[in-house]
Structure 1
Amino acid sequence: MTTTPRRLAKAHDREILRLAVPAFGALVAEPLFLLSDSAIVGHLGTAPLGGLGIAGQALSTLVYLSIFLAYGTTAGVARRVGAGDMRAAVRQGVDGMWLALAIGIVLIVVGWPLIPWIVEAFGASHSVTPYAETYLRVSLFGIPSMLIVLAGTGVLRGLQDTRTPLAVSIAGFSLNLLLNVVFVLVLDWGIAGSAWGTVLAQTGSAAVYVAVAVRAARRYGALVRPDLVGLRTAAAAGFGLLVRTAALRVVLIVGTSIAARMGDEEIAAYQVGFQVWTLLMFALDAIAIAGQAITGRYLGASDLASTRAMTRRMVWWGVGCGVVFGLAVLAVRPWLPGLFTSDDGVRDLLLASLLVVAVLQPVAGVVFVLDGILIGAGDGTYLAVTTLIATIVFMPAAIVAYRADAGLIGLWTAIGLWILTRMLTLGLRARGDRWMVTGAVR
């Protein structure tokens, strides 16, 4: 029976949703670690809560920069799955997890003496500093596990499994919440108890991923011991993604810094607007994750026709979700500021900011999807270069907005230029064929 375009589109939709929906759940579950910590540590007082805030920002930055462990592993494993070489796919995933462990150990050794400097760099007050340092010193021991979780998540995504990471995220969050209640509220260990609860929860999650990887290695006859060649390959594959991610982080940091310099009302409104933006990005990133896994598999199978067809379909998904999200922001815009502030000045600034956030959603949808597709194709060098270009476009636009007293609208317009630049560069790449390198290895 001939497959009609409508049936093919529905098949693609099912495949996208099968991967994207659980991925979205896992993405939302991750921030709940620090959220639950905040709820519990808040009972200890303002200074401990402030210390958690500083430490949480430092750890979040580390996670953000280390996301290449998940993305790079997803692309590499998916390619080998598409090529039908499950043994090599699992082996590459194991290499990624060994790399995560090695980086985690280095970060403990390097990070321990730097903790006072890190806390000071975030501008912590004298009352907050000891709590931030305590949390970071304990949390350092959980970094190897945290990075193994990132790599392990990439392995399973590459194997076209996003349900297991969702289950691990939910279990890890639940264990983290339980341990924090016991250590902080029952045993009275203070902020150190909160940190130890999170470390143990991360260690448990990492143990699950290690067990899954070992079981898969036994099933397909893959070696689990460290391999220097494999480690170098995994590191090289992740370098472009690391540069891309660092450039993205620069935009986030500079945007917050400029908003803070505009005034208290501006930074308050920007923070709320950016949290709305971040929430919507989780959903778009879920589609991007599906794009990583699907693109890698099709290219590994040398199926260019399906790669192109799925790319078009996922772009439409990005546009559609962006339109829906934009309309949703406009719908809740009149009453949303009241949930966060009673300050009329902040409210007016937030109302104006949300208009720009809504308008940018369809563009952001395209950007996230194409970013995920090119990550799945292993096109890290191009992503690094073009993200740097977009960041270079953003920087002077943001500075001009600040010096011209254009306010938050000017800052969000600079962010819009950044997003548009990324859409243009990613779109030009996707229209061509150079990124569609076939085979098990790019």
Structure 2
Amino acid sequence: MLKATEEVLFYARQYFDIRIWSAPAALINMVLLGWLLGMQNAKAPMFLLIITNSINILLDVIFVVVFEWGVAGVAWASLCADYIALFCGLFIVQRMVSGFYEKGLFARLLKEILNLKTLAPFLLLNRDIFIRTLCLQVTFTFMTIQGVSLGDDIVSANSVLMHFLLIISFSMDGLAYAVEALVGKSIGERSIRKLKESIYLTVFWATLFSVLQLLLFYSFGAWIITQITSIEVVQQEAIKYLPWLIIIPMTSMLGFIFDGVFIGMTRAVDMRNAMIFSLCVVYFPVWFIFEEQGNHALWIAMNAFMFARGISLLWIYRRLSHKQALIV
């Protein structure tokens, strides 16, 4: 569907055919990380992510640099890292729950899992989060599709610039995970005061981190690009669109934090609606308006989309607060 060049399609297929086998481990790892964060155990997920990424980097060097496996080596490195992280995660969770084992526990849990009344709330919650996440992935997929149509240099430059979004998400996701757990605990205690304190404190730190990232990208963005790729034409293209990445920490900050807030409140429907609004009413119309600007249009639309996510969730939160409906 991307209508890419034969070379791009060849390497994409080579990567996919290997990487797809890590799907079971990657999905289970998400469950384990979610459970650990929900238990307010932030150290274990940090340990797992450090292990996963360290092994991935080490195997990348071995498979790509030493064995010269190329793109296939990158895929094998990620696959191995995912399964090693899975075994480590299962070991940690087993240690945490070992004291709760009791006779007939597994049979009772299996019965609850197969009970539709028990399962329904989870499926409904996951349905809305799935739609919300699907909308988010549509934006990145659309950028890739349009980037391919603009040429290999553009799609390569956008791939480099996506690393800036990863840097942002690494810092913001940490705060989002923290506010998820804190908000969930506040809801459980039915404490509006603690809920609001958690949100205000998280927004304060998120704003501080966003300003620091903006200054980092402004001062060292071009240098970071040269460290990611040594291809000069890709460097030049990436630097051309760097200004849009310099401001994206500020435009995306509220979206990251209020995602965590609404997950903590289990208000997945509101998250879904805000995401659909941001995608259909903001992202695509903004891109269409600036389409003649080429790749600039994609990054303008991405900034507008990120900003709309945060503002729409903030608006819903304030409406719920005024109606005194934060805790139902």
Classify the TM-score, shorter chain.
0.7 to 0.9
Q: 1:307 is matched with which residue? A: 195
CA RMSD of aligned residues (A): 3.6
Q: 1:425 is matched with which residue? A: 312
Q: 1:8 is matched with which residue? A: none
Q: How does 1:315-326 map to 2 (within 5 A)?
A: 315-326=203-214
Which of 293, 298, 314 pairs up with 2:186?
298
User: Is residue 176–residue 201 contact of structure 1 (8 Å, CA) maintained in 2?
Assistant: no
Q: How does 1:139-150 map to 2 (within 5 A)?
A: 140=21, 142-150=22-30
Give the Å deviation of 1:263.
Answer: 2.6
Task: Confirm or deny that 1:343 pairs with 2:223.
Answer: no
Q: 2:175 is matched with which residue? A: 287
Give the Å deviation of 1:194.
Answer: 5.6
Question: Could you say what secondary structure the match of 1:335 adopts?
Answer: helix
Q: 1:35 is matched with which residue? A: none
**Closer/same/farther in 2, CA of residues 257 and 375 from structure 1, 3 Å limit:** same
User: Is residue 52–residue 82 contact of structure 2 (8 Å, CA) maintained in 1?
Assistant: no
User: Is residue 139–residue 279 contact of structure 2 (8 Å, CA) maintained in 1?
Assistant: yes
Task: Note the residue ranges of structure 1 that are not aligned, 5 or more in a row.
Answer: 1-117
**Closer/same/farther in 2, CA of residues 123 and 160 from structure 1, 3 Å limit:** farther
User: Is residue 390–residue 422 contact of structure 1 (8 Å, CA) maintained in 2?
Assistant: yes
Q: 1:169 is matched with which residue? A: 49
User: Is residue 129–residue 271 contact of structure 2 (8 Å, CA) maintained in 1?
Assistant: yes
Could you tell me which amino acid in structure 2 is paired with residue 241 of structure 1?
I
Could you tell me which amino acid in structure 2 is paired with residue 431 of structure 1?
R
Q: 1:256 is matched with which residue? A: 144
Question: Could you say what secondary structure the match of 2:190 adopts?
Answer: coil
Which of 193, 197, 201 pairs up with 2:84?
201
**Closer/same/farther in 2, CA of residues 389 and 212 from structure 1, 3 Å limit:** farther
Give the Å deviation of 1:327.
Answer: 1.1
Could you tell me which amino acid in structure 2 is paired with residue 218 of structure 1?
Y
Give the Å deviation of 1:268.
Answer: 2.7
Question: Which range moved further: 200-209 or 407-416?
Answer: 200-209
Give the whole-Å Cα distance in 1 for the aligned partners of 2:5 and 2:92: 33
Give the whole-Å Cα distance in 2 for the aligned partners of 1:346 and 1:181: 22
Give the whole-Å Cα distance in 2 for the aligned partners of 1:408 and 1:126: 21
Give the Å deviation of 1:322.
Answer: 1.1
Give the Å deviation of 1:336.
Answer: 3.7
**Closer/same/farther in 2, CA of residues 311 and 173 from structure 1, 3 Å limit:** closer
**Closer/same/farther in 2, CA of residues 384 and 132 from structure 1, 3 Å limit:** same
Q: 1:356 is matched with which residue? A: 244
Residue identity (%)? 19
Could you tell me which amino acid in structure 2 is paired with residue 386 of structure 1?
A
User: Is residue 322–residue 363 contact of structure 1 (8 Å, CA) maintained in 2?
Assistant: no
Give the whole-Å Cα distance in 2 for the aligned partners of 1:354 and 1:262: 17
Could you tell me which amino acid in structure 2 is paired with residue 135 of structure 1?
I
Q: 1:10 is matched with which residue? A: none
Deviation string for 1:294-332 (max 9, x for gaps)? 100011100101111221221122222111111111011
**Closer/same/farther in 2, CA of residues 418 and 125 from structure 1, 3 Å limit:** closer
Give the whole-Å Cα distance in 2 for the aligned partners of 1:422 and 1:178: 36
Give the Å deviation of 1:179.
Answer: 8.6
Question: Could you say what secondary structure the match of 2:306 adopts?
Answer: helix
Q: How does 1:92-241 map to 2 (within 5 A)?
A: 131-132=14-15, 135-136=18-19, 140=21, 142-172=22-52, 197-198=80-81, 200-212=83-95, 214-215=97-98, 217-218=100-101, 223-224=105-106, 225-226=109-110, 227=112, 228-229=114-115, 230-241=118-129
Could you tell me which amino acid in structure 1 is paired with residue 94 of structure 2?
A
Q: 1:413 is matched with which residue? A: 300
Q: 2:265 is matched with which residue? A: 377
Give the whole-Å Cα distance in 2 for the aligned partners of 1:130 and 1:342: 23
Give the Å deviation of 1:266.
Answer: 2.4
User: Is residue 288–residue 369 contact of structure 1 (8 Å, CA) maintained in 2?
Assistant: yes
Q: 1:436 is matched with which residue? A: 326
Give the whole-Å Cα distance in 1 for the aligned partners of 2:28 and 2:49: 13
**Closer/same/farther in 2, CA of residues 236 and 205 from structure 1, 3 Å limit:** farther
Give the whole-Å Cα distance in 2 for the aligned partners of 1:121 and 1:216: 54
TM-score (norm 1): 0.61
Give the Å deviation of 1:394.
Answer: 0.7
Pairs aligned (count): 311
Could you tell me which amino acid in structure 1 is paired with residue 308 of structure 2?
T
Give the whole-Å Cα distance in 2 for the aligned partners of 1:397 and 1:291: 31
Give the whole-Å Cα distance in 2 for the aligned partners of 1:334 and 1:196: 31
Deviation string for 1:46-74 (max 9, x for gaps)? xxxxxxxxxxxxxxxxxxxxxxxxxxxxx
Task: Confirm or deny that 1:243 pairs with 2:135.
Answer: no
Question: Which range moved further: 227-236 or 198-207?
Answer: 198-207
**Closer/same/farther in 2, CA of residues 277 and 183 from structure 1, 3 Å limit:** closer
Give the whole-Å Cα distance in 2 for the aligned partners of 1:259 and 1:208: 42
Give the Å deviation of 1:343.
Answer: 3.3
